[in-house]
Structure 1
Amino acid sequence: MHTHIVVAHPEPASLTHAVAARIGEAIVNADADNTVTSVDLMAEGFDPRFNAQDHAFFRRTTTLPADVAAEHARLDAADALVLVYPLYWWSFPALLKGWIDRVFTQGWAYDEGADGKVEKKLQRLQVHLVGLGGAGQQMIDRRGYGAAMKTQIEQGIFDYCGAPVLSSTLLLDADSGMAEAHLQTAVDIGRKIGTPAP
């Protein structure tokens, strides 16, 4: 199995990056046949702004931008996608949301027919979400943020494209001494992703 990990955090020494690294290591250690690639969107300088060429491609009047085509190639080679990110305002950071906006294109991630029906084109891609947040579970539950994120991200993005979200984990209280526990959870997540189904 080949897993592609995408990380969106501006600080390479962050807990977010450490969690992503632990997940990748655990996937590889779970089975000798597993492979992992990882991309740091900030370090690579990915431009998250949906631009005029992106819009023209959506309208089917021009070719796919080269940077988006490169992301498609990475994802086409993957069996699983793991997104590791900090929670910003109860969602993805803008960098990761822009990556989704630009990369999950019509014609590749989904297609809309003349009859208005949506063809879900990413049913083969297993998705795992790992969000890190400074708040606690009590606040998430009290304000309904968990349900809101599930609707926006799991249903609004991935279900629309047919990509099954096999796991969605929130590593909370990240600013309150939970780093070691979260790193162990990352290992557990990686093992589960990397262990072949019987």
Structure 2
Amino acid sequence: MQGIDDPSTVFWISAHPEQRSLTGSLRRDGLAHLRQGGHSVLESDLYAIGWDPVVRSQDGGQVGEHGLRRFRVSSDTRRAFLTDEQPRDVAREQSKLLKADAIIVQFPLWWYGMPAILKGWFDRVFVSGFAFGTDPQTGRRLRFEQGPFVGKRVLVITTLGDRPQAIGPRGKSGELNELLFGLLHGTFAYTGMSVLPPLALPSADRLSDYSRVQDELVDRLDGLFVDREIPYRPQFTGEYTSEWELADHVRPGEHGVRIHSRTPAAIPGEPHATPNE
């Protein structure tokens, strides 16, 4: 595979109920391409494995199972992780994530968000102590540039019904990186990952040239370890206040999600602004 010197481990998470869908076809072709490039591939096809997306008291380990007290989601799932009392399905997904050098998250965009089964995967797998938290020895905040997943790269692949212009800089549905900001910044960057610009395939229901989107997919997979990441701002280098607000000297007078990148996301037809640092 071009641009990658050494084979790596890639974890591919997908969420679509139909194997014969466009999502399913891209997944199969993408996995085959990665394997042909010599990479180790880990998979979680959430519908195929019957993933349970619902956080339950059992996710808190023995305390939750026996109902000894009220289930405190964050603290009890953290304790279950630290004491190795998590459900096996959660621990298995966490193990895949830890082994991965890069993560592919693939889903159809439904109502401008992830399918419920995938949202539930994050709810159950990305628990405190594993994906974020505080180092008990040093008190170091484990998030953004100090997150536990620093060094891992992540690429979102999504299909959607909107026309290409609808997710452009003046599109009715919102510019793509802003539309996915909660996932890209609030989940992936928050946990320390390097976030690649997402691959979106619009007008998926009217697709007539599969070879074109297949080529797009292959191109992005070939750049998985070399393409430039979205330059989200680090949290602990003076650009934010102690209240997590962008400091007054950074992009003064501006607001909105794009100010949290050191340069705006690449938008066709719009020049990159020079950050006012």
Where on the TM-score scale, by shorter chain, does this alignment land: which range? 0.7 to 0.9
The separation in 2 between residues aligned to 1:9 and 1:82, in whole angstroms, is 14
The corresponding residue for 1:186 is 217
SS at match of 1:143: coil
Q: Could you tell me which of 100, 107, 110 is aligned with 1:78?
A: 100
Partner of residue 65, structure 1: 87
Q: Partner of 2:270 in structure 1?
A: none
Cα distance change, pair 116–144 in 1 and its aligned pair in 2 (3 A): farther
Distance verdict in 2 for CA 1:164–1:195, change over 3 Å: closer
Q: Percent identity?
A: 29
Match in the other structure for 2:161: 134
Match of 1:149 in 2: 179
1:179 deviation in Å?
5.0
Shift of 1:171: 0.8
Q: Whose relative contact order is higher, 1 or 2, with alpha carbons under 8 Å and at least 6 apart? A: 1
- 2:47 is aligned with 1:17: no
Q: How does the TM-score come out when normalised to structure 2? A: 0.64
Contact 2:177 2:198 in 1 (8 A): no
**Equivalent residue for 2:130, pick from 108, 112, 115:** 108
Larger radius of gyration: 2
Contact 1:20 1:186 in 2 (8 A): no
Compared CA separation, residues 14 and 26, structure 1 to 2 (3 A): same
Residue in 1 that maps onto 2:233? none
- TM-aligned CA distance change 1:179 to 1:69, over 3 Å: farther
Q: Secondary structure at the match of 1:16?
A: helix
Q: Is the 1:18–1:183 Cα contact (8 Å) retained in structure 2?
A: no
| Distance in 1 between residues matched to 2:44 and 2:124, nearest whole Å | 16
Partner of 2:25: helix, strand, or coil? helix
Count of residue pairs brought into register by the alignment = 194
Residues 173/45 of structure 1: CA separation in 2 closer, same or farther (3 Å cut):
same
Check 1:116–1:29 CA distance in 2 against 1; reply closer, same or farther (3 A cut): closer
Distance 2:108 2:208 in 1: 14
Whichever residue aligns with residue 94 of structure 2, its letter is H
RMSD: 2.4
How far apart are the structure 1 equivalents of 2:125 and 2:57? 14
Distance 2:97 2:184 in 1: 18
Query: How far did residue 57 of structure 1 move?
Result: 6.2
Unaligned 5+ runs, structure 1: none
1:109 to partner: Cα distance: 0.9
Could you tell me how far apart the structure 2 residues matched to 1:126 and 1:68 are?
Answer: 21
Q: Hey, what's the Cα distance between the residues in 2 that align with 1:156 and 1:172?
A: 23
Q: Return the structure number with greater helix share.
A: 1
SS at match of 1:83: strand
CA shift, 1:92, in A, is 0.9
Larger proportion of strand:
1
Tell me, what secondary structure is at the counterpart of 1:69? helix
Structure 2 gaps of 5+ residues are: 1-7, 61-71, 228-277
Deviation of residue 145 (structure 1)?
5.2
> Who is 2:34 aligned against?
27
- TM-score, reference length from structure 1: 0.87
